[in-house]
Amino acid sequence: MNLAELIAAASERLTPVERRIAAVVLEDPTWLAFGTVSDLATEVDTSRPSIVRFARKLGFEGFADMREHAQRGVTAKLSRPSQRIRHQEGSLGRAGAELTESIRHLFDGLDGPQLAALGDPLARAQQVWILSGETSLAAAHAMFSGLTMVRPNVHLISEHSSGRDLGGAAPGDAAIVFDFPRYRRHALTAATALGELGVELVAITDGPLSPYAALTQNWFALDVPAMGPFDSSVPRVAMAEVLVAYVATQLKDEAQVRIDRTEALWTATDTFLAEEN
Amino acid sequence: MNLAELIAAASERLTPVERRIAAVVLEDPTWLAFGTVSDLATEVDTSRPSIVRFARKLGFEGFADMREHAQRGVTAKLSRPSQRIRHQEGSLGRAGAELTESIRHLFDGLDGPQLAALGDPLARAQQVWILSGETSLAAAHAMFSGLTMVRPNVHLISEHSSGRDLGGAAPGDAAIVFDFPRYRRHALTAATALGELGVELVAITDGPLSPYAALTQNWFALDVPAMGPFDSSVPRVAMAEVLVAYVATQLKDEAQVRIDRTEALWTATDTFLAEEN
DNA sequence: AGGAGAATGTAACTGATTGGACATTTCTCT
DNA sequence: AGAGAAATGTCCAATCAGTTACATTCTCCT
């Protein structure tokens, strides 16, 4: 039973001042969720006891009770999707729901400016270095093969080659790291080293408490749903693909040329079966 | 500047207790918008002053100041649904919808017996061979690293090594191939060769017209949504993870032993940063 | 081992908030 | 016009919240 219904039920018995109060809280429920009795009294230009009497007339114990009710309503609005997940049962179905939810989260949270902040460095950099934690290898590979299709000078850093490879890094380059708890020591040191070399860092990680969030402003947080005994890398791969798609649109012509060239190479080496259209 | 960014900015300077506080308020911002200092202290299981110090460290005057900030954020979120809808019309939103739809498809279409048909060969095989097309490399890598964690004798076949590697294949083995139009010649020939050696083949491909559907009964069809100029590999990675999770449950004890061993190795080689409970 | 400094908790204080008792005003009906 | 009832406002007490000062504990380094 929401507030509007409660007010409607009591509406006949409301006094003039109480009607003014009702009008204000219906117009902006925020007054109820966040305000104090004094705030509301000032807003409605009445006395504090009138506010309390209003709450009682609606069936609450007092103002505090009414506020709790309003806050529950707001909380429900705010956290509906994530709670929905928790209520679903069945392991396969739940894993699927979590997965889709995390991807929905990704696309909801990524607005234009933010995507630009993450993607632009990768588009304009001289060279791009890709780092990843143990559980993010799939995303790093997706990033690497996608980015290689649309721009030159992309390097995937493996643990064994990093010392040698990173030597070529310089200001004007960009690095993108995929790393999540438990953060991989090697990825973090490499990222720090690149940062000190003047390389612009983009981080896909788990949240503001990540060590990478301290290294750069260009970070983005992903959910990490569970898939059986492991963390799912699906959202990370999705993120990698989104970034590749963005870079491709930014480098429109250059990317097209590269894609065509790769295609030609594949045709020449007879990589694919003949198409059947 | 939202709360996550503020926390990120201060994250290095946060003490252990303050990190716990940060984790709670990030998980559920409602604590900040509606809760009192005491509420939060109880939830985090710490003292009230620690909450206040946390607020100050983030740059607020005190807890009250931080709460006001959080409330403004919540108010903004409450009034944004109209924007969110508009946002979904853009190309980014559509890609996201396609992606979630394809994953929903995957989980809807995969019932228990079918999952068993695909997963059982991978669980009971002597050796597992992983093949993939050009655009399915991410899935193949996910499959490889996941399966390696839960069972022995897993081989990822790259183009250059296939002749040498496949020599070891024998009846009692299983192979899983990820390949989609345009099918990769190499992957198909390798799959055919393995089939002739008596290896059980599992195929993740695009549908009944796929050449792999002719090679084996154990095939499954995935949607392939577009992501910018490329095909998305997200559903394939999701599929790979589902299969790994299934194999893990089938090999319960053996898988656990392997996982533990890998963990121990990682700890011994100091691969990860210390955890911060 | 011991000491310095950071981290955290305890306890007390100040101010704000709620809810209720009581007074005043306003309305209505005779 | 006046009396009674309803509506509203004033004031106060009790509680609770936020903050600060200080004590204790923990950690790290010598």
Q: Residue B261, preceding bond cis, omega within 30 degrees?
A: no
Q: Is there a contact between A161 and A206 (Cβ–Cβ < 8 Å)?
A: no
Tell me which residues of chain B, numbers 90 to 149, contact chain A at a CB-CB cutoff of 8 Å.
92-93, 95-96, 99-100, 103-104, 106-108, 110, 112, 115, 134, 137-139, 141-142, 145-146, 149
Q: CA-CA distance, B184 to B131, in Å (whole number)?
A: 10
**pLDDT tens-digit map of A223-267:** 888 887 788 999 999 999 999 989 988 887 777 777 777 766 666
- Fold match between A3-78 and A104-268? no
> How many Cβ pairs within 8 Å bridge chains A and B?
214
Structure tokens belonging to residue A4: 């509007």
Q: Considering the domain B96-268, what is its CATH architecture?
A: 3-Layer(aba) Sandwich (3.40)
**pLDDT tens-digit map of A163-211:** 566 778 889 999 999 999 878 888 888 898 899 889 999 999 988 888 8
Nearest to A133 by CA among A62, A64, A205: A205
Residue–nucleotide distance: B67 CA to D23 C1' (Å): 29
CATH number of the B3-78 domain? 1.10.10.10
The ranges assigned to domains in chain B are 3-78, 96-268
What phi and psi, each to the nearest 5 degrees, are found at residue A6? -60, -40
Establish if A81 touches chain B: CB-CB under 8 angstroms: no
Does residue A81 surpass a pLDDT of 60?
no
Residues 6 or more apart in contact with residue A84 via CB below 8 angstroms: A97, A101
Please name the residue that has the structure tokens 């190499």: B186
pLDDT category of residue A89 using cuts at 50, 70 and 90:
very low
Contact at CB, B230 and A246, closer than 8 angstroms: no
- The whole-number pLDDT of residue B252 equals 78
Q: CA-CA distance, B75 to B66, in Å (whole number)?
A: 14
Average pLDDT over residues A211-225: 90
Task: For residue A8, count other CB atoms closer than 10 A to its CB.
Answer: 12
- The whole-number pLDDT of residue A236 equals 94
Establish if B248 touches chain A: CB-CB under 8 angstroms: yes
Q: Is there a contact between B179 and B133 (Cβ–Cβ < 8 Å)?
A: yes
Residues 6 or more apart in contact with residue B270 via CB below 8 angstroms: A185
Residues 6 or more apart in contact with residue A5 via CB below 8 angstroms: none
Does residue A17 surpass a pLDDT of 50?
yes
Residues of chain B with pLDDT under 50: 80-90, 275-277
Establish if A207 touches chain B: CB-CB under 8 angstroms: yes
**pLDDT tens-digit map of B210-263:** 888 888 889 999 988 888 778 899 999 999 999 998 898 888 777 777 777 777
Does residue A124 surpass a pLDDT of 70?
yes
Q: Give the domain A104-268 fold.
A: Rossmann fold (3.40.50)
**C-alpha pair distances (Å), B202 with each of A11, A158, B147, B209, B251:** 67, 30, 14, 16, 18
